Amino acid sequence: GKREDIMVATLDLIIEEGIQSVTFPKIFKRANVGSSTFYNYFNNKEELVSELYKSVLIHMGEVIMTGYDPNLTIYERSKGILRRMVDYGLSF
């Protein structure tokens, strides 16, 4: 939906240009929405970025914990988590 379009557009812009360069006009254009649609889902840019941050953290946690085996040694579990963290970070 449009909410997801706004969040994806914002994340793409942050990755491409840095958060300080992300403006409402850029978000609206990239997400193909108007200001009224944006404000239907978010009160302001800070709320959008906060929601985006939470969403990314949840996704990252799910990816990092994929394949977690509590029966492994602490060393093996830590190594697996760190490996998946690196892989996740390099996927961007």
Residue 33 dihedral angles phi and psi, to the nearest 5°? -135, 165
pTM recorded for the entire structure = 0.74
How far is the C-alpha of 49 from the C-alpha of 7, rounded, in Å? Answer: 8
How far is the C-alpha of 62 from the C-alpha of 83, rounded, in Å? Answer: 14
Does the pLDDT at position 48 exceed 70?
yes
Please give the DSSP secondary-structure letter assigned to residue 44.
Answer: S
Query: What are the start-end ranges of the H helices in 2-90?
Result: 2-17, 24-31, 35-41, 45-65, 74-90
CATH number at 2-90? 1.10.357.10
Average pLDDT of span 72-90? 92
Domain extents for the chain? 2-90
Q: What is the pLDDT of residues 58-76, one digit of tens each?
A: 999 998 998 899 999 999 9
